[in-house]
Amino acid sequence: MTADHIVAEHAELRAVMLRLRAAQRDQLQAACHWADSHPWLGDLTNPSGVETVSRFAGEGTPEVEPGSVAEFAALLGLSTAGGERLLAEALELRHRLPLLWERVTRLDLSADHARRVAARTMTLSHGAAAWVDRQLVTFAGRVCVSQLERTVEAARRVTGERADSEVFDERHVTIRTGDTRVNAVAEVSAILDAVDGADLEKALQYGAAQQKAWGSAEGLNARRALALGELARRQTPLPAAGGVTPEAASAGTPAPTSASLPPTPGTQPSTPARHSTVVDRSGDAVPVDSGDDMRSPGPHRTHIPNRSRRRCRRRD
C-alpha cells in the first residue's frame, strides 16, 4: 500500500467519523426542536392530584408535553423510554452544559460522549452542572465512567449538595392517631422512593375503582382513603426468626423467636371477619382477606376454606 493510499484511507475514515458526528448532532438538535414545538401548557396535576412529569432533564430545562414523547420515540424507531432519554439528554446539554453542547455542534465531540455526561448531571443543581461542564469540556471524550462519576461527586462537594444516598434519610411514614370521636380519622403523611410512590398510587387508583364497583357512593378522595385502609388489612409477611409481630411492634415488645406464629386457640385475629387460609408448602398457615381482588397467593401456596384450618395447623 502506497503512502497516497494510506492518506486517502485516513481521510475517508475521518470523513466517515464526521458524518456520524453530524448525524448524531442533527438528532440532538431535532430532539430540542421537538421539545420547543411541544411545550407543556397544561395543569401539572391530573384528576387524582398526582404531579405529572413534564420536565425530563435538570432544573431550568423546558417542560415538554408528556403525551408527545411516545410519538417522538416512534418516529425515530425508539422505545418510549429511549425517546424520553434522548429528549432529556439533548435538553440537558443545550441548557445546562453549553460548553459541551458547543463542541458537539462543531463536531469536535461525539454526541455519545456528551450524552454520557448529561445523563449524570440531571440531578445536580444548575451551578453544579456548570462546574462539571467546565471541568470536562476538554476531556469529555477521554474520561472513563469512574472518572466521570468522581467528577459529579466532586461537583456535589464543591456546591454543598447531598448525594442521592443521603436524601434517603428524609423518607418517613407518619400516622397521627389519638382521635377518640365516633367518626375518628387519622392523618397520614409520608415521603417515599419515587418507585414506591408510583406503585402506591396505582394501588390506590385500583382500590378506589373497586370501591366504586362494589357500590360505594363516596367521592374519589374518600374511596382512595378506604383503599389505603384495605391495603393495611391485607396479609402481612410471616415474622422472621427473632423478629416481631405487628401486635408486638405496636406495643414495643419483641416477639418470641419462632419461624411462624399460628393462631392461638380461642382468639380472633384483628383482620376482617371473612377469611380464608393460605397454606405454605412448608406447613405454615396464615389468615388472609378472602376477597378475590385482595388475594395474592405466591407460586407455592394453596387456598383452603376456614372449616379446614384446624386440620392444616402444623403439629408440634
172 has which bridge partners? 191
Q: How far is CA 218 from CA 47, 202, 211, 270, in A?
A: 16, 19, 9, 25
Mean pLDDT of 47-51: 49
Cell 455542534 belongs to 105
260 or 188: which leads in pLDDT: 188
**Distance, CA of 122 to chain centre:** 16
140 or 50: which leads in pLDDT: 140
Look up residue 128 and give its three cell numbers. Answer: 453544579
User: Where do the domains of the chain lie?
Assistant: 3-160, 171-232, 258-312
pLDDT of residue 193: 79
pLDDT of residue 91: 94
Where is average pLDDT lowest: 120-124, 162-166, 220-224, 311-315? 311-315
pTM, to two decimals: 0.49
> How many CA atoms within 13 Å lie on the side-chain side of 296?
6
pLDDT in tens, 239-258: 555 555 555 555 554 444 44
pLDDT of residue 28: 94
pLDDT of residue 237: 56
Asked if the model's pLDDT at residue 88 lies above 70, the reply is yes
pLDDT in tens, 8-20: 778 888 888 888 8
